[in-house]
Amino acid sequence: MYLRLRQLCLVAHQLDPVVDDLCAIFGVRVCHRDPDVGQFGLHNALMPFGTSFVEVVAPVVEGTTAARYLQRRQGDGGYMVILDSDGLDRWRPHLADLGVRIAAPLAIGDYEGAQLHPRDTGGALLEINTTQNGADLMGPYWPAGPHWQPFVATDRVEAIVGAVLQSDQPQALAERWGAILRRPIEAQGGGWRLALDNAHLRFVQAQDGRGEGLFGIDLRCHDAQAIVRAAAQRGRPTQGQAVNVGGVWFFLQPSSHNA
């Protein structure tokens, strides 16, 4: 049984500027644009960061959930944390026991997902999904399209290794997510950490006045300096070994090959 951090979703007022920044700064490429998100009043783009993905969505009509989220969080920023597992059958009874509602069940071909109700989770939209024969990280992953593997580019970024959620009550949020995901939490550096099979979730004190949400993404990088230079050239905020794109801070850690 596995539980992995597979995809992080950003929401933006305008799709293309954020996608262009991500590609230019991190040296990644768009692997898929999903027409099915149109049913939610959105358009999107996915980019592989190693074998995990960053997705950007933007509303194309008024009154969408994403548009309301943009308003509530005062602009572009983090939106969803998406985990993949070997199956959903073992999750449904557990979620029901905790009183966590499934806000949006998803089933398309060999893919099945459960978006959890944010009022029951806190922090950010949380999804658990599964793809048949998806245990291999280079294998099928329906949200990324049928042919995502050739688009992997790792000259600058090796992998997504974590997501950072901020809250006015980070310990309580960590405990809630730990109960939902059946993983222990541990205190770390003034916050709390929850380990997944391929990454971690960090829970920190809210610090930007934007409220609870997905604040940052931890990356393991082959060339952090090139990322910082590219971000500065494109006018994106930088702070030491961190850059801000699409309202989210990307924290750059050296690859084990470069450490």
**CA 239, chain centre distance (Å):** 21
Is the pLDDT at 259 greater than 60, yes or no? no
Residue range 150-173, pLDDT digits in tens:
999 999 999 999 999 999 999 999
Residue range 5-59, pLDDT digits in tens:
999 999 999 999 999 999 999 999 999 999 988 888 999 999 999 999 999 999 9
**pTM of the predicted model, to two decimals?**
0.96
Task: Categorise residue 88: left if φ over 0, alpha if ψ from -120 to 50, beta otherwise.
Answer: alpha
Residue range 65-121, pLDDT digits in tens:
889 989 989 999 999 999 999 999 999 999 999 999 999 898 988 999 999 999 999
Provide the β-strand partners of residue 105: 114
CA distance 203 to 155: 29
CA distance 250 to 242: 5
Provide the β-strand partners of residue 108: 111
Average pLDDT estimate for 121-146: 94
| Residues in Cβ contact with 235 at an 8 Å cutoff, skipping those fewer than 6 apart | none
pLDDT of residue 119: 94
pLDDT of residue 257: 61
Domains and CATH numbers, the chain: 3-151 (3.10.180.10), 157-254 (2.60.40.4320)
Average pLDDT estimate for 179-201: 97
> In Å, how far are 79, 104, 143 from 36, measured between CA atoms?
18, 14, 10
